[in-house]
Amino acid sequence: MHVIGLTGGIASGKSTVTTFFRDRGIPVIDADVLGHRTYDPGTDTYRKVIETFGQDVVAPDGTIDRKVLGGKVFGKPEELKKLTDIVWPGIRRLASEQLAEFEAAGNELVVLEAAVLFEAGWEDLVDEIWVVVVDPEIAVQRLAARNGLDPEAARARIASQLTNEERIRRGHVIIENNGTLEELNARIQQAWEALQERLRSAAGRN
């Protein structure tokens, strides 16, 4: 089974790429969705989050109150690292389980979408990495339009992430998304065709 790691910054266009794959019947594992699952009551992550950040992060219904937890780590790198040290291993475990299930089911291609693929050190879970990049100022405009964020708040969120240069240096397939949706889809199609060629060549060698 061939695993593509898909990553990119906020408002880069990752969801358009995952839609492309899903439309072709390719399974997509969404690390964000797994991240929500790690907080489920009864999990190790749930217990450790409460131990580390206090009982007040528990909502009346017994779930983790993400807003309260976010307030404890936002703008505090040391506290955020405590949280990611708890959550990222839980996400990795769930992703590994899903990958094993897809392989057992006979899937030949799977996508793992993870904004923090590099930061979390998950490169070893995938065979190649696709990076979607967008100019930071274009990302600011898209965030303002999509989420209603004011430009300074948008810039702060973007500045807290890895730079495009760092992602490009560590990625294998780079998809630039500074233009229209049609242009992005054309670039995804090109990358898809090149992937098919690589997989055919690999199958031929085997």
142's enclosing H/E stretch is helix 136-147
Give helix 44-53 / helix 66-73 axis angle, nearest 10°: 50
Residue 120 has pLDDT above 90, yes or no: yes
Side by side, which strands form the sheet with 2-8?
28-30, 109-113, 2-8, 128-133, 173-176
pLDDT in tens, 158-206: 888 899 999 999 999 999 999 999 999 999 999 999 999 999 888 777 6
Copy the structure tokens of residue 199. Answer: 């997989």
- Paired with 5 in beta bridges are 112, 129
pLDDT for residue 185: 96
